[in-house]
């Protein structure tokens, strides 16, 4: 009996295919679908930071702000702005995925956006929510060619106690 399915997205094509399969399976089994993203960390590219200012996701940084020496978030600091951008991207990714799942007819959809180590967080959510099946991409946004599995799909597949499907 499959009553809860977890699909995880990093915005990659593989994750998009995983979402499509997860939505099909959720319909078939009348299961709840959890859609999850774990936010990125660290600096975002200059262009993205600029776009975030234009879109009012963040305030423009003071012209003479020093580069932070320690990765301690301070209100109004560059790392604070990075975090806001990662959260904004994560929300958009998950909102789009939720809309796509609902368009496919999935009735019960839950969204989760967290931060931390992606594989660790995915495993925690799978356990906490009693997930019966994880459907994720075999690869993601990483650019190391030739690998069958990325580090996140490999770790989750290895350590989860439920069925894990890695979509190619």
Q: What is the contact surface with Mg ion in residues (CB under 5 A)? A: 140, 142, 150
C-beta of 53 vs 88, nearer to ligand ATP: 88
Minimal distance, residue 100 CB to ligand ATP, in Å = 14
Give contact residues for ligand ATP (rule: CB under 6 A).
8-10, 12, 14-15, 18, 36-38, 118, 136-137, 139-142, 144, 150-153
Q: Which does 118 bind (CB under 5 to 8 A by kind): ligand ATP, Mg ion, none?
A: ligand ATP
Minimal distance, residue 137 CB to ligand ATP, in Å = 2
Minimal distance, residue 21 CB to ligand ATP, in Å = 11
Q: Which long-range contacts (CB under 8 A, 24 or more apart) does 119-124 make?
A: 119/151, 119/152, 119/155, 119/156, 119/159, 121/36, 121/38, 122/6, 122/8, 122/36, 122/38, 122/152, 122/156, 122/160, 123/155, 123/156, 123/159, 123/160
């Amino acid at each position: 009996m499959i009553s809860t399915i977890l699909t995880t997205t990093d915005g990659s094509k593989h994750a998009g295919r995983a979402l499509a399969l997860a939505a099909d399976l959720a319909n078939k089994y009348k299961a709840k679908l959890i859609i999850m993203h774990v936010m990125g960390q660290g600096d975002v590219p200059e262009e993205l930071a600029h776009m975030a200012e234009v879109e009012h996701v963040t305030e423009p940084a003071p012209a003479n702000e020093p580069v932070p020496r320690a990765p301690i978030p301070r209100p109004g600091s560059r790392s604070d702005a990075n975090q806001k951008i990662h959260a904004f991207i994560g929300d958009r990714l998950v909102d789009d995925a939720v809309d796509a799942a609902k368009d496919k007819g999935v009735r019960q959809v839950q969204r989760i956006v967290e931060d931390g180590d992606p594989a660790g967080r995915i495993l925690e959510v799978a356990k906490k929510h009693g997930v019966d099946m994880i459907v994720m991409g075999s690869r993601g946004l990483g650019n190391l060619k030739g690998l069958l599995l990325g580090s996140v799909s490999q770790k989750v597949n290895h350590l989860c106690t439920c069925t894990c499907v890695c979509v190619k």
